[in-house]
Amino acid sequence: MTGNLLVVLVMVLHRRMRSHTNFFLTNLAVADLCVAVFCIYQNFAMYVIQDWYFGEFLCLMYQFVNQLSYTASVIILVVVSGERYLAIVEPLRAKSLLTRRNMIVSWSFLSL
pLDDT per residue as tens digits for the range 49-86: 888 788 888 888 888 888 888 888 888 888 888 888 88
The CATH architecture assigned to 2-110 reads: Up-down Bundle (1.20)
Burial level of 99, CB count in 10 A (0-12/13-18/19+)? exposed
DSSP letter assigned to residue 107: H
Give the distance from CA 70 to its chain's centroid. Answer: 8
For residue 87, pLDDT beyond 60: yes
Dist. CA 82–CA 100, nearest whole Å = 15
